Structures are given as structure tokens and as C-alpha cells.
Amino acid sequence: MIITVTMNPAIDKTVEIDSLIQGGLNRISKVEYDAGGKGINVSKTIRELGGKSIATGFLGGNNGRTIASVLEEKGIESDFVRVDGETRTNTKVYEKNGALTELNEPGPVITEEQMEALKDKLLGYAGADTLFVLSGSIPAGVPKDTYARIIRAVHEKGSKVLLDADGELFRLGVEAAPDIIKPNRVELEEYAEMDYRASEEELVHIAEKFKDKGIGSIAVSMGQSGAMFLLDGQTARCPALSVKAHSTVGAGDAMVAGLALAWDQKLAAEETIRLCMAVSAGAVTTIGTKPPSKELVEELKKQVVIAYLK
């Protein structure tokens, strides 16, 4: 069973324009709305690939009701804690030259009681057959060590955890030894306090240190440079697939969905890598945060090139 946790969900509004004019009039050629937030994006992708998950977190106001309705229409089970205030709307401005500008709202303030209600809900799902996906930002009122606390609590019940976060959420979270992590290049550089672009050898070195913390599986997404995977005692490097890119929004979430589904289906390392690379590449061909089709992912799997480093 996969449980995705989205503490700061959103209505994703993706608008397309020719070129962004700061301080001037911008005419929108196309607009798309969808239920979003990193964990929700993971659940949408898992559903598109034929898997199942339960989406949880916090929802509030009309936007929250809209998200719940969209998930129901998509056949995704949800179990959110209802809160006061309005779930945020995130606006993504996509230009024809591929440039992306994101305007993310803060979301509602979460009380201690609401946080405890979510923790109780998660512990109710915890067990040896459960993977929790903790991803994305947290709203105001939620302490930075929340992911770390959740990891330790569900580990006590035998559950596994996949962490996809940045900044302090990531730094504190990895100290609780999640089972799977998916940092990107920038997040690793920030974690290692680098003020320059790390080489791939340096990224591997940083990633290997997580093994000492008890983290078993690591995927490092590197955008146009592809990705690296540390799975089952092996380190693999994969170049990015050649696809017609529409938007990079959601590519990282798609890779997280691949990792989660691979865990749920008990896939071997090579199949896990092929799935992750294919679904991530497929995601950049879609509009906004819409997941790629299962048919496209199956086709892209055939194009994945895996080079084992050790």
C-alpha cells in the first residue's frame, strides 16, 4: 500500500504565453487547471500507470473541495484532514522558449491539533506493507522536523518511507533514515554546502554517504543530464531520454511515483531504473502537472540506457 502525504497541496494553474513582459500586459494563449502538490502529483502518476495509492494531507476551503472532487473523478482514494482557510493556488507561467516562472502561494496555517490529527491518520495506515511518500513543502504552523518525526513514528510500525524534500526538511529528514530518497542535483549541492556546480563524481560521493545513515535506495535527478541511481549495492548512470519537451513541471514527482510503484510491485533494480527514467521523461511531454500515459511510458522504457559505475 502506498500513502502519499501532501501537507501543502494546491490547485495548479498553468498558463501559456508567448513571452513574459515584466511590468506590462501579458495575454494568455492557453490555461490549464489541475489538482496539484507533489504528493498528489505522485498519486496521479501512480494511477495513470495502473497502480493504487491513498492521498492524504491537509485540504481547506473551495480549492480543497475541488481537489478532493478531482481525485475522486480520477479514481484516486483520498483521506485528507480538513482545515480552516483556503488551499493555495500555484500559478505556472510557461513561455514558448521553454522558460518557466512559478508563483506559489503560502497556503493555510496549520494548528497543532490538525497536525496531530494527520499523524494519527498516518499511524492508522502504518504497517509492514505500507510505503509513505513524504514530499513537498509544509504549510505555516508545521515544524521543520515534521518529516523526521513521521519517519521515526511509522518506522516503529514497520513501514517504509520515501522522502522527496529540500532544505531543512531534507536535512532533518535524512537523519531519521528514510528508506528511499530522491534529491535533485541542486538539493544535493545545498545539502553538502557547495557553492558551485558539483561534478557527477562528487554527486555520487555525496549520495554514497546516505548509505551510512541507513538509507537503502537513492535516486538523483539531474534534469537534462539524466539521473543516477544507487540501488541494491549498484550505482547506475542514465542519460536523459530524447523527447519533445513541453514543461519540466512534475518530472521529479513522476520519478518519485516510479520509485514508489517499483517498491509496491517489488521490481528489480534494472526495471526500477527503466520505469523511473521513462515516466520522468514522459512527464515533460505533458501540459502542466498531468502524468504521461502508461502506453508512452512503456514505449520510453525501451529507450533507457543504463551504465553501471560500480
Residues annotated as part of the active site? 253
Reported as half-sphere exposure (CB side, CA atoms, 13 A), residue 247 has a value of: 21
Contact partners, residue 190, CB within 8 Å, separation at least 6: 166, 167
Q: Give the residue from 11, 138, 5 showing the smallest Cα distance to 66.
A: 11
Compute the distance between CA of residue 308 and CA of residue 310 in angstroms, rounded to an integer.
6
Cα dihedral sign, 252-254-260-263: negative
Burial zone of 60 (CB within 10 Å; 0-12 exposed, 13-18 middle, 19+ buried): buried
How far apart, in whole angstroms, are the C-alpha atoms of residue 277 and residue 301?
A: 7
Q: H helices then E strands: how many in the chain?
A: 10, 15
Q: SS3 breakdown of the chain: % helix, strand, coil, rounded to 5? A: 35, 25, 40
What is the β-pairing status of strands 2-6 and 131-135? parallel
Q: Chain-centre distance of CA 141, in angstroms? A: 22
